[in-house]
Structure 1
């Protein structure tokens, strides 16, 4: 398994009151129900969410990576909430504490679920932040729903514009990379998650790396909390979805942050390519940064986020 991960390391990735009796103003709107911790989408999926910080603060939403949950954002959530921001993070369908539907494990549904959270909580002037697969979710949200509720966007280690090698994306990864990952997930996804976390995700496979067993255990626990079918389907979603047209629709200030030692979502094929497609975007590269910079570089990332939010 460790050989598999080494061979595929450059490939993968990546309001508070009860209102169930309330009806929306128009049947044309999404038919959503909201409780203190869950939103039920119009196709019956329950999405778990956290809503931290002052309710009147500027709003930041956080979309997590594969195969994680909103718990992966805890460092950013507590930091931004303490700075006066209202921070909302949900567990993607099939991940974390959200329900595990058999179908709909694709970027269009992920984006629509993000829209459901934003609309159910009536969030306005939102800064959308997405990490890895969550960056794709943010891009597809803007592509499908526009920016009428969006103030800014942030892509961190994002899978945009396209991970897969195609005739017009020759620097992407061959489909065989993701086929191997799918096979590993079917054989023993528990071991796959351990190998990813103990190896390329946090850069713990690099000479001299300071390994954190806590981060490895947290990654594994979050991954195993998700549904097997959901996280399996999500491999196709993050690897094969083409976000190039979505990125061209970005018309809000956008920050792109990426580690230049990201072994899973290569900086040139992803961050630098996205930067070229999003007019006026800012690009920050962390020297030596791995994929999981939300943890390994959390202090710097938090400050960079805060500075961008205050601009």
Structure 2
């Protein structure tokens, strides 16, 4: 069939049942759709339903109504021969890790609320990213460099991050970590998880204190350029890539990739992104590509 509807629940809340998938199939059939049998990628967690004769946006709308607010992500996409992507380009903060590292630094410096509000507005597209990062770093100027290590101790990986990277790497997928944050944190996270490369901004330290940020600042355009470069260097196209992020500076790379995923994203990002994961963890990116439970590291 020409389209696939993928339903994904969080692994810790495996609420996806045959009863729910039957309700979804009935809803599509009532709209005069041709509906195939469910293909369970992971019982209780992820399922594919092939369908025809219903627009993908309408299929998503009908499915959400049939699910009756069940915490299940709904993604309908045209069937594609390159569903499994050959490269991942991922944002880091609030995506691969739970943290926003400038916020962590600010809380340690006791200016947390002030900096966090700037972060929130920048990630939701309410402030210019470049001016926002300069302002936040300027507020930290003069703080001891030891805060960088103290903040690193607070880092928590996003659920599913290790399984996502281990699974993709085992299938030969090239993985790039691109961040509007700082290489002080992207480098160790990239090494820990097995990313093939990382890029981020560089914080300037002078006299063992935070002094500024190196220009030019890497943001929205740099992330898009990284996606294009990774595809070019790997001899593939951006259609062969999957991207993931949560903030406004991720929108360009989300829109350009063959599969761009807004992950637990800011409201304005959710509005503009074609694919949203609101309930699942990062293994949702694997189910979206048709990976099955026995192919996922730590899940089978």
User: Into which bin does the TM-score normalised by the smaller protein fall?
Assistant: 0.3 to 0.5
Bigger proportion of residues as strand: 2
What TM-score comes out, normalization by structure 2 length? 0.32
Instruction: Compare CA radii of gyration and give the structure with the larger one.
Output: 2
